[in-house]
Structure 1
């Protein structure tokens, strides 16, 4: 292999990396955008292979990368486009299971160093669950290094057969809310009025409307809050296959819940909330949890996956799929301003322990250097 270096000293060639994205996961897309900017700033050449709509949303080219359109598919045309993009790469880094599997097909057994980041677990039932396990095994056995964003994911990769699996916490940028550019005391009433939460507590949940998000449990819990005066309003931002079923249930049971669809102002909505809710059946490194703690919004979350490791004592944790525990925790917090303030302080301290974007880029680059630098002869 030709010696490479991120800064290309002494005539060495510049490190050329390809980042492969499926394009459907906001967490991994935001990470690749941040990682791209950091790598380019350190002299690394970056090509991002992702659907064109992902580049429109995350502006990889604006971060200094070349962008190659690769559709969200494993059909021959998509694999061929990815193979061409990876042809002269010194290292390929794929994010998520499906993107990683496409990269394995494109590399076709070539000895190019291959890094995989697992940001989350893939979900499926029945025969499809078996297929996902086969894909996971194929991917981790092909990978030089598997990076998991939580200890659970690292353990899963090792059980699946990874030769080298490591914990790699993924930083997200601390959200810039309107409160940083405007008077928050003036902004919050406007946001709350738009959502219909004037004069009542506002509880925010954010995430795709999928079964593993635990929204059925959340709707069950709202029944207990209906006896409060004023009745809290739950606002859920996100889209997904359960939208119709959830909306029908909200209307038929008269629940104090609003579905507002996908929003690009989540940080602003969250900053106006009294509590953030994360009722998921499983989560890895939850973006909502990170944004809530950064914004000093008290969080009630289920103790699943990577959530306890992420939030420490900076959130109120409850068992998953337990509507009574969730309801009781919310009622206690709404009636206890001192506890809410304590969670704000603990959450901010916990957030300060998370890696910065610079630290995340440095860690990834050290893995790249390890895999691409020539080893001294024994």
Structure 2
């Protein structure tokens, strides 16, 4: 693999890249933080353009990058701020559809190479779905290279008109290591006590409270678990527009579900669970799925998007929207400790096949090298 030089195409200063983020996706924000750390260590100058709250949450400056506050909006003032931040860049790398569209607008009339990473698919219906397709077409035709985190996203980019679309190596930042079994037991007990699940199974779901996450199906399935003794508790970490609607159902139907809001200790929550649940309508390279397999927690997920490619045979997959299948699968697993032990082992083996952070940085560097290497003299 060709490794990029730490120098710009002129050979007189370090390569300068600008990473553009919308700030709304935890997976892409964590990826950019990891990428910035690796690029800076290899002599590349990195500027991260993202809302201020994203830097406070992910500490891009602590990774050695410069941070420029750029609002998530695509209004002219925000685009002008981004254009100014990119004026001396050798290459711009945008993450997600909306950040990529802003980058296209900011680079209009310039010859700066644009790399785009699609971490997930934009979720939209009706007229907005048509708008999303128009934005996708505009972005992929302007990008020199589109990196997709799943084969489905790569195919989507190619079908939309991308000149060059490739499967991205995207690593989940290395999970925090627990020193020993005693520490892990202590962590589990602390988390489960906080949630009220010391003497009952804990089922953990994580993600924004949006329609595409499938939480209404999860609530439907939870009715079947009330008959178990002890009955499991479902904890959902995340915030979003459906919170009031979901809470009403939980209260009215007396469901064994707790909405615990946005959390910054997701890894600990998942590690403390008996099962992780992912009932979404579509997922790409799900952070929850990766966290669960890394933590050796059995996963039940919908058979959609990039999930089968990501987890292989290390998770139980059910159809999207099928509350009966979800409920029955959870009941079966809770009653089968041998199956859960096998899933933990398979999960650890599957996680070991995923790209490392070093491999992710190496792939990105090779792409940067292709796009910034001086043309040979004839």
TM over 0.5: yes
Query: How high is the TM-score relative to the length of structure 1?
Result: 0.96
CA distance in 1, matches of 2:372, 2:343: 44
Q: Which moved more, 1:122-131 or 1:148-157?
A: 122-131
Partner of 1:189: 189
Whether the 8 Å contact between 1:179 and 1:187 is mirrored in structure 2 is no
Does structure 1 residue 243 correspond to structure 2 residue 210?
no
CA distance in 1, matches of 2:304, 2:57: 30
CA distance in 2, matches of 1:117, 1:272: 32
Partner of 1:217: 217
Q: Which moved more, 1:122-131 or 1:287-296?
A: 122-131
Partner of 2:274: 274
Does structure 1 residue 306 correspond to structure 2 residue 298?
no
Structure 1 segments of 4 or more deviating over 4 A?
7-11, 177-182
Whether the 8 Å contact between 1:174 and 1:294 is mirrored in structure 2 is no
Partner of 1:330: 330
Q: Output one character per residue of 1:129-186: Cα deviation in whole Å (capped at 9) or x when no partner.
A: 1111110000000000000000010000011110100000310113216566962222
Partner of 1:26: 26
Residue 377 (structure 1) shift? 4.4
Partner of 1:295: 295
The count of corresponding residues between Structure 1 and Structure 2 is 375
Q: Output one character per residue of 1:54-75: Cα deviation in whole Å (capped at 9) or x when no partner.
A: 1111111111111111001011
Alpha-carbon spacing, 1:178–1:242, altered in 2? closer, same or farther (3 Å):
farther
Structure 2: give runs of 5+ residues left out of the alignment: none
Query: Which SS does the other structure have where 1:5 is aligned?
Result: coil
Alpha-carbon spacing, 1:248–1:347, altered in 2? closer, same or farther (3 Å):
same
RMSD: 1.6
CA distance in 2, matches of 1:180, 1:12: 49
CA distance in 1, matches of 2:269, 2:189: 11
CA distance in 2, matches of 1:183, 1:214: 34
Alpha-carbon spacing, 1:310–1:254, altered in 2? closer, same or farther (3 Å):
same
Partner of 2:356: 356
Does structure 1 residue 66 correspond to structure 2 residue 66?
yes
Alpha-carbon spacing, 1:54–1:182, altered in 2? closer, same or farther (3 Å):
farther
Q: Output one character per residue of 1:68-125: Cα deviation in whole Å (capped at 9) or x when no partner.
A: 1100101111011100111111000000000000000000131111000000011111
Alpha-carbon spacing, 1:214–1:175, altered in 2? closer, same or farther (3 Å):
same
Alpha-carbon spacing, 1:8–1:21, altered in 2? closer, same or farther (3 Å):
closer
Whether the 8 Å contact between 2:119 and 2:285 is mirrored in structure 1 is yes
CA distance in 2, matches of 1:290, 1:97: 22
CA distance in 1, matches of 2:160, 2:202: 42
Q: Which moved more, 1:168-177 or 1:348-357?
A: 168-177
Whether the 8 Å contact between 1:177 and 1:271 is mirrored in structure 2 is no
Whether the 8 Å contact between 2:202 and 2:234 is mirrored in structure 1 is yes
Whether the 8 Å contact between 1:150 and 1:169 is mirrored in structure 2 is no
Partner of 1:77: 77
- Aligned counterparts, 1:70-149, within 5 A: 70-149=70-149
Does structure 1 residue 35 correspond to structure 2 residue 62?
no
Partner of 1:316: 316
Alpha-carbon spacing, 1:270–1:6, altered in 2? closer, same or farther (3 Å):
same
Does structure 1 residue 154 correspond to structure 2 residue 154?
yes
- Aligned counterparts, 1:342-353, within 5 A: 342-353=342-353
Structure 1: give runs of 5+ residues left out of the alignment: none
Whether the 8 Å contact between 2:9 and 2:15 is mirrored in structure 1 is no
Alpha-carbon spacing, 1:137–1:180, altered in 2? closer, same or farther (3 Å):
farther
Partner of 1:228: 228
Query: Which SS does the other structure have where 1:80 is aligned?
Result: helix
Whether the 8 Å contact between 2:104 and 2:142 is mirrored in structure 1 is yes
CA distance in 2, matches of 1:321, 1:268: 28
CA distance in 2, matches of 1:281, 1:191: 28
